[in-house]
Amino acid sequence: MKQLFLKHGQVLIEEVPAPICPPGWILVANKYSLISSGTESSAIKQDSVSLLNKIKGQPELIKQGIQSLKDEGIFKTWEKIKYDKEKINTMGYSSCGIVIQTGEGIENYQAGDKLACGGFGWASHAEIVSVPEKLTVKLPANVDCKYGAFTTIGSIALHGVHQAKAALGEYAAVIGLGLLGLITIQILKAAGVQVIGLDIDEGRVALGRKLGLSLGLVIRQGEPVEKQIAVFTEQIGVDAAIICASTYSNRPIELAANITRRKGKVVAVGGVGLQIPRDIFYYKELSLHIPSSYGPGRYDSAYEERGIDYPIAYVRWSIKRNMAEFLRLVSEQHVNLEPLINRVFNLDKAPAAYDFTMNAAPRPIAVLLGYPDSLAKEQPAAIKLQPVRKSKNTINLALIGCGNMAAAIHLPSITSNPHYKLAAVVARTAVSAKKAGERYHAGYFATDYNQVLKDKNIDMVFVSTRNAQHAEQIIQAVKAGKAVLAEKPMAVNEDECALITEALHEHPVPFSICFNRRYSPLTDKAKELIKRRSAPLVINYRINAGFFPKYHWIHDLKEGGRIIGEVCHFVDYCNYLTGAKPKRIKAQSIPVNQKTVAAQDNISASISYEDGSLATIIYTSLGHPQLPKEYIEIFVANSVIIIEDFKNLQAYGFGDKTEIALKNQDKGFSRQLEEFYKLYQGEPSICVSFDEALTTTKATQKIVESIRS
């Protein structure tokens, strides 16, 4: 299928594989999508800025770069910079089309339904899109797909009106009469509100009058509009001012404050300067509201991606309900969209459409992209970049998942190792798969995992997706006869452990989990120093884990949470050092408050081993970012080893004092691949065995159980 991308400020039309349709999602063949003149024009301008100028404008990037140089060295830091430099972005977030397929659990839609879709990265400018159910709504029978493509923008306008709480007979001002403002005035008019519209463009004010403005005013330098509004409102002022302008200027917020009555509301829907004029806000006791996009549910992955709705008794207007209400207003002709459409371009003329949007005079209000009948042609399952051939000495590897970890660590490690050939990359979104595949010269890229499972040229699958997907993808790869190296965790619950055990019993293949710290050269040294021990170890492992806000996916217990997802690393490390199995596990966490957003953020876990060793794992989000992340103390027979962030090692009591300072941090990622290659070839290897992975996974699950109890 064809999809639009943005790279270095240029709009590109590329052929990519169609997205998949996971449970709770819907596959839609777009008929129209709306170009957002404000958001997308701004993105194009920003993307055309050089990397150096971007860094100059964001001092925090310089700090991150310096820290990366210290921790990882110039090579890995340069790889990150190059990967970011070659970044390509999807475009679009408001479209409408025909349902092709529904994912498992979708009961209210069927193939052939007309559907409005929303969401950046989902309702894209593409022939086919995959969209979560909560960001879709069925079109009324009398609404054309052309108008359905406005639904996301309409929802933003409607959410702003809800925030304003403007009631029948009240006055409301709309500052900025672009697409968002012209839709907003029609929604307000439908609610019986007397609407005042203001803009610097006389043509847009004139159009606003045709669409129902009670008073339309052109903002001109040196001609204050405040007096005219005072006269029109009988010296009351407007009950609410809704700002739909897009400008860095502080003038809109100042104007809104001046024309709003005492105890009125100012609603900043558009992106404007927000240096609040305190004196007038204080004197009038004005309320400032900044609506979040399309409404409640936006940026909440539980709502958007997993489809968990908000109870209507507590959240009257969620995203989906806003979308449906906007379409009702269109259906009943309270909102007229036809006068707002300047041009409709075919998809293959998209660059011209953006040129028209950004440069035509007068400024266009709405530009649509129209799509051919994508159902009439067969869609490619993968996009080939170069041939993939079998080789005795090289493993053809398919990487599944192209997130931050894959981009920063796994892809550079794989492609720099001569034992591996990156045969394929698979990601949920075409943009991620395309970027990784092209940057690292893969054989092909795809969006459907099944593509590599049935490919006989693929020897091995490297699973690097979200935690909750690991077990199912491991099982599928094992059943397909592929060797498997998977990111931690192996599984998020006991049932998944049992299913993986069963699959490996029936289909024995080379298998390991990415508990990479055991492969660090500093771990080798520690193991060498303690190999002749006759006494138990006492291990103290402190992790300065870093803070993540409450809404971050890392706290999602369906993804395993922080303990299953990360503490497993440290459990495996202690298991490896002792060489013994855990015997007893106890854990506790501190109470949750505003600074500790999750019970799994700050824990102390104690593990006693069959050989008498003891390990204490302190995992906390309360530390300072400048403190190294990991600090390990290993005590044995009047001796101690200290490892700091897998960069420095100090040992006392083993004869002469031992000190090792690596040039760069080494957590064992590269050697992990070497050890897996040995395992694959049937040679001796310290690769994490399935039994070790299972022991670690179950021990980590017991930490969670201990905290809960």
Mean pLDDT of 122-148: 97
Write down the pLDDT at residue 68: 60
Q: How many angstroms separate the CA atoms of 518 and 129, rounded?
A: 42
Q: For the chain, give the mean pLDDT.
A: 92
The predicted model scores a pTM of 0.86
Write down the pLDDT at residue 484: 98
The closest alpha carbon to 184, from 39, 340, 48, 52, belongs to 340
CB burial of residue 589 (10 Å; 0-12, 13-18, 19+): buried
Whether pLDDT at 566 is above 60: yes
**Percentage above 90 pLDDT, the chain:** 82
Taken in order of first residue, the domains within the chain and their CATH numbers are: 2-150+302-371 (3.90.180.10), 159-291 (3.40.50.720), 382-513 (3.40.50.720), 517-708 (3.30.360.10)
Token pair recorded at residue 213: 């403005």
Whether pLDDT at 72 is above 80: no
Mean pLDDT of 551-576: 92
Q: How many angstroms separate the CA atoms of 338 and 336, rounded?
A: 6
Mean pLDDT of 674-691: 96
Phi, psi of 233 (to 5 degrees): -95, 15
| pLDDT tens per residue, range 264-323 | 999 999 999 999 999 999 999 999 999 988 999 998 888 999 899 999 999 999 999 999
Mean pLDDT of 331-360: 96
Cis previous bond, 296, omega within 30: no
- Mean pLDDT is lowest, of 60-64, 178-182, 500-504, for 60-64
**Model confidence at 551, in pLDDT bands (50, 70, 90)?**
confident
The closest alpha carbon to 560, from 642, 658, 493, belongs to 493
Task: Provide the sign of the torsion angle of the four alpha carbons 138, 139, 141, 146, taken in this order.
Answer: negative
Whether pLDDT at 128 is above 70: yes
3-class SS shares of the chain: helix, strand, coil, % to 5: 40, 25, 35
Q: How many angstroms separate the CA atoms of 458 and 421, rounded?
A: 10
- Mean pLDDT is lowest, of 71-85, 359-373, 409-423, 606-620, for 71-85
Quick one: which H or E segment has residue 218?
A: strand 215-218
The C-alpha torsion from 155 through 156 and 159 to 161, rounded to 10°, is: -110
**Model confidence at 511, in pLDDT bands (50, 70, 90)?**
very high
* Contact assessment for residue 683 and residue 419, using Cβ atoms and an 8 Å cutoff: no
Whether pLDDT at 85 is above 60: no
C-alpha distances (whole Å) from 360 to each of 97, 220, 340, 655 are 28, 22, 15, 79
Q: Are strands 658-661 and 648-652 parallel, antiparallel or unpaired?
A: antiparallel
Whether pLDDT at 594 is above 90: no
Mean pLDDT of 4-33: 94
| pLDDT tens per residue, range 203-229 | 999 999 999 999 999 999 888 899 999
The closest alpha carbon to 489, from 568, 582, 558, 576, belongs to 568
Write down the pLDDT at residue 223: 85
Q: How many angstroms separate the CA atoms of 184 and 181, rounded?
A: 5
Taking the CA atoms of the chain, what radius of gyration do you get in angstroms? 29
The closest alpha carbon to 672, from 439, 509, 462, belongs to 462
> What residue type is 175 in one-letter code?
I
Write down the pLDDT at residue 558: 86
Whether pLDDT at 241 is above 80: yes
| pLDDT tens per residue, range 622-681 | 999 889 999 999 999 999 999 999 999 999 999 888 999 999 999 999 999 999 999 999
**Model confidence at 84, in pLDDT bands (50, 70, 90)?**
low
